[in-house]
Chain A
Amino acid sequence: MNQPKTDKSSGGVQAAYHALLASGRFMIQRCADCRRPVFYPREVCPHCGGIRLEWTQPCGEGTVYAVTTVRRKADAGGAYNVSLIDLDEGVRLMSRVEGLAVDDVRTGQRVRARVVVSNGVGLVVFDPLDSKGPTT
């Protein structure tokens, strides 16, 4: 259980989340009161109203819940994937699946998180897990 600084000098949890991402670390929260996972990062627990939210490192694996392909024109960069991913911890986030043709991203597909850091800004994307199935 990592517990990054969350005192007043470091600002709120959104800034803390993005600072962690920028250092290559993808963290979610867990409520110390109701024990439920929380994403996106919040100052109060949306399940029980508690305020004792702790950072926790997800296992990084998840399942594609819903998929779309934004049909951007080729001269503007071409089509790209936008997906909703259910992490195994039980939270959902928007992201994109890379390493597959956009038309090959499927609902139900197992994926693994990867943090991309570019110009000091981190972003969580997902790669397909081995088609043989999820790791144990």
Chain B
Amino acid sequence: MSASLRELRGSVAVAGVAIFGCGEAHGYTEMEVLARAAHGAVADAGLKLTDIDGLCTASVGATMWPMPVAEYLGIRPTFINGTMLGGSSFVAHLLSALLALQAHQCNAVLVCYGSTQRTAQFGRKEVEAGRKFVDPQPYEHPYAPMLPLSAYALAASRHMHQYGTTRRHLAEVAVAARAWAAKNPEAFMRDALTIEDVLDSRMISDPLTVRDACLVTDGGGAYVLVRAERARELPKKAVYVLGNGTALWHRQISSMPDLTVTAATQSGRAAYQMAGMTAKDIDVVQLYDAFTINTLLFLEDLGFCRKGEAGAFVENGGIAPGGRLPVNTNGGGLSCTHPGMYGVFTMIEAVRQLRGECGERQVAGARTAIAHGNGGTLSSQSTAILGTDDVL
């Protein structure tokens, strides 16, 4: 970590956030969902789309996605980042946007995403089928793993073998997410869920059941970044970017060196160093929970507990409302929303918590938050640390 990144701690802030069409967005295209989320975030920041001169975006399907987005929104960005690392992308875009803002390459960056994978004619199944041709994995596909789920199932199996983690521990993660979702009127699944419900649900790829897997929803999300001094003049309470780090260790699960240790160890270390913080300093935690094992791995790799001890950490409602650590307070990808890539929603919920906008699920006095994105098959990891002006 260079001294200069540390000096940039808190130099940029999130000024606006919005979601749109989460759940089912019948009759909408993914661009329309994205555009409504983008407009909402810009309005939340007290700005207009014509003020936006930086654009970060990525799509599950379109490889040249910044082009149609810029065209559709009518912006001519001087800073563009279309880096596609899977679901972590919208956290990973943060540091490059911060640097561009500090260099005055641009003045207001829009990070945005939209998907209609649940309701679209060309949805998740079609994208997955097409991926075998445009993104071949010739040393895995012949064995027909159910990707991405089977990759996470392999990681879960190894964690169970190595550390005695149980299916009940995994179920605790799903139940905690549902309990938070019950407090969030925007969450997609809010009905009661018990450990037994999860254990008895349909097995997809052992040890992961349908209730260990994220939702398949539509939805868009966006946030707006400006330099800190400008954020203080805008209507909403500024939420400062204290640190961000991104790491990428593999693409295919068979190339992951140790299935119980993710690149979040590296991204987290970089983010903590930039922020000058450790896990003990974090009040509220948003982790990309594509599958229940993710939450356990990231709790360990981001330092909230020791390696192998996340199962015990989440026992007895450890990360549920009223537990030892508030994790995925919107209900997460498991119960709130998961439109193909969830990373942007970890940022949005972290910002809302730090603004104190979360109603029944608000974590009292939250001043610091982690938003952690995951992409591919535990492949890319990006960690952001955000804070209020109390911790600048």
Contact = CB atoms under 8 A, between A and B. Distances in A.
Contacts of A80: 144
Nearest to A102: B206
Contact of A66 (B139, B161, B203, B252): B161
Interface residues of B, number: 26
Interface stretch (A3-11, A50-58, A89-97, A127-135): A89-97
Nearest to B162: A107
B204 interface: yes
B254 A68 contact: no
Contacts of B252: 94
Given A84-B254, A93-B254, A94-B253, A68 B142 contact: no
Interface string B149-161: 0100111011001
A69 B145 contact: no
A94 B259 contact: no
Given A84-B253, A84-B254, A94-B253, A66 B157 contact: yes
B303 to A, nearest CB: 24
B140 interface: yes
B139 to A, nearest CB: 4
**Among A67, A80, A84, A107, residue most surrounded by chain B Cβ atoms (within 10 Å):** A84
Interface in A37-54: 39-40
A115 B261 CA distance: 31
B146 interface: yes
Contacts of B206: 67-69, 71
Interface string B241-267: 000000000001111000100000000
A32 B157 CA distance: 35
A73 to B, nearest CB: 11
Nearest to A80: B144
A93 B253 contact: no
B205 interface: yes
Given A94-B253, A94-B254, A107-B161, A68 B154 contact: yes
Interface in A77-136: 80, 82-84, 92-96, 107-108, 123
Contacts of A82: 143-145, 150, 154, 205
A70 interface: yes
B138 interface: yes
Contacts of B153: 68
B143 A71 contact: no
Given A14-B138, A84-B254, A94-B254, A66 B144 contact: no
**Among A18, A39, A94, A123, residue most surrounded by chain B Cβ atoms (within 10 Å):** A94
Interface of B: 138-140, 142-146, 150, 153-155, 157-158, 161, 202-207, 252-255, 259
Given A68-B207, A82-B154, A93-B139, 4 more contacts: A68-B150, A68-B153, A84-B154, A94-B139
26 contacts: A14-B138, A18-B138, A40-B138, A65-B259, A66-B157, A66-B161, A67-B154, A68-B157, A68-B206, A68-B207, A69-B203, A69-B206, A71-B206, A80-B144, A82-B143, A82-B144, A82-B145, A84-B154, A93-B139, A94-B140, A94-B143, A94-B252, A94-B254, A96-B143, A107-B158, A107-B161
